Amino acid sequence: MFSFITSFLPTSYFLPGWLTLDTNPLDGLLQGLVGACGISVLCSLLRVHLLLEESSKEKNEKGTSSERETHHQTRTINGFAGMLQFFFVTGILAVVGSRVASLVVLEFCLRAVSGLVTAGPDTRKFLQQLLVQSQFSLGCALSCSLHFLHEGASQRWLCLLLAAGLSWFLARQASGLLRHVSALYKLHSSQNYCGICISLLTSGWRLLPMLCRAMTITFFVAMLAGVSTINQQFLSATEALRFWTPLTICYTLLVVYMQEEQHSLPSSQAVFNTVVVRLGGLMVLMLTVGRWADVLHILMCFLGEASCLLPANDLLDAASSQDEEDFTEYARRDRRQKPRIHQRERQR
């Protein structure tokens, strides 16, 4: 019924073909809502994990405090800005086409795999930073997966409506858990009063591995959907090979360059430079083998990445500061162990 009503709108007569949406506006809006809810769940659980780590550090090291990080968390949760950011990301994901969303997902998967291979002993820090950087890519992954799974369905809008309702419920539950933990976790965990806080106290260390497994499954499905969606645009295997060959070569070189640059810059600055470089490379690629609609959607991806990363600066700073604290603690242990080793060598 919605498509019957929108068929009478004069947009197709006044707008060029490359400005029209490739899907139904209602379907795109519901897919964007699912993607934004997935981003909200990821951010809420990451902040819960950060609060649990801070609480455990305060118990182990009685002089440690993290007032600055907690202030950033409460500021990003409450207020009108969070709701405005949520609906802005929903609109961006609704407008971005499935082709560009698939390219963003494939680029992120390539970057994640190459980063994990070369991470070495900093795997935990890389995973935390990768989860923060994957926010907009997660929204694109959910959007293109839903586009692929519901393609050709007779009641597609109803399936997407059910998915959007479930995603909204999960996002509300995750944000409620974050508010509960940020306000009452220290009190409840010390007095063994609340079942939720006791469960987080005993098994909260499983939260980060659970997030990593969920993200792996999500991006694996999205990668298959993205490859299938992009291959539908080509008429022959020669055209597909002409597209995939420069894409793979360019992004392999970009990944190597970005990983070398991240070691010499602060975490937040390196992340924003990475966004500019990889989306700029994707835009150059689309200018050569893509369409004008793809270029417009990539420009909108810049806004989507910025709207996801700017409120998450505290998460990036927390990951980098945690790595610095681990390094200082290791240096202190090394200094304590060196005199003991010298004494043992002298005794021998």
How far is residue 243's CA from residue 250's CA, in Å, rounded to a whole number? 11
- What pLDDT is stored for residue 26 in this prediction? 85
Mapped onto helix, strand or coil, the DSSP state of residue 125 is helix
- What pLDDT is stored for residue 200 in this prediction? 85
Copy the structure tokens of residue 154.
Answer: 């007779």
How far is residue 207's CA from residue 106's CA, in Å, rounded to a whole number? 26
How far is residue 292's CA from residue 98's CA, in Å, rounded to a whole number? 14
Mapped onto helix, strand or coil, the DSSP state of residue 333 is helix
How far is residue 88's CA from residue 36's CA, in Å, rounded to a whole number? 9
- Identity of the amino acid at 233: Q
* CB within 8 Å of 159: residues ≥ 6 apart: 150, 153
| pLDDT per residue as tens, the chain (348 positions) | 444 444 444 444 444 444 455 667 888 899 999 999 999 999 999 999 988 888 877 777 654 444 444 444 444 455 678 889 999 999 999 999 888 898 889 888 888 887 777 766 667 777 888 888 889 999 999 999 999 988 877 788 898 999 999 999 999 999 999 998 888 888 777 777 788 888 888 888 889 889 999 999 999 999 999 888 888 776 667 777 777 777 677 666 766 666 665 555 556 666 777 777 777 777 777 777 667 788 888 889 989 998 888 888 888 777 666 544 443 443 444 445 445 544 554 555
Mapped onto helix, strand or coil, the DSSP state of residue 55 is helix
How far is residue 230's CA from residue 261's CA, in Å, rounded to a whole number? 30
pLDDT tens-digit profile of 222-269? 999 988 888 877 666 777 777 777 767 766 676 666 666 555 555 666
Residues 189, 123, 44, 141: what is their CA dihedral angle, to the nearest 10 degrees?
-150
What is the residue-wise DSSP string for 284-316? Answer: HHHHHHS-HHHHHHHHHHHHHHHHHHGGGHHHH
How far is residue 240's CA from residue 242's CA, in Å, rounded to a whole number? 5
Closest CA to 182 of 75, 84, 81: 75
- What pLDDT is stored for residue 259 in this prediction? 63
pLDDT tens-digit profile of 196-216? 888 888 888 889 889 999 999
- What pLDDT is stored for residue 151 in this prediction? 82
How far is residue 178's CA from residue 221's CA, in Å, rounded to a whole number? 28
Q: Which residue has the tokens 């894409």?
A: 247
- What pLDDT is stored for residue 221 in this prediction? 94
> Residue 225 CA to chain centroid, in angstroms?
18
Closest CA to 308 of 108, 139, 69: 139
**Beta-carbon count within 10 A of 246 CB:** 13
- What pLDDT is stored for residue 267 in this prediction? 60
How far is residue 262's CA from residue 279's CA, in Å, rounded to a whole number? 17
- What pLDDT is stored for residue 33 in this prediction? 95
> Residue 112 CA to chain centroid, in angstroms?
11
- What pLDDT is stored for residue 244 in this prediction? 73
Mapped onto helix, strand or coil, the DSSP state of residue 79 is coil
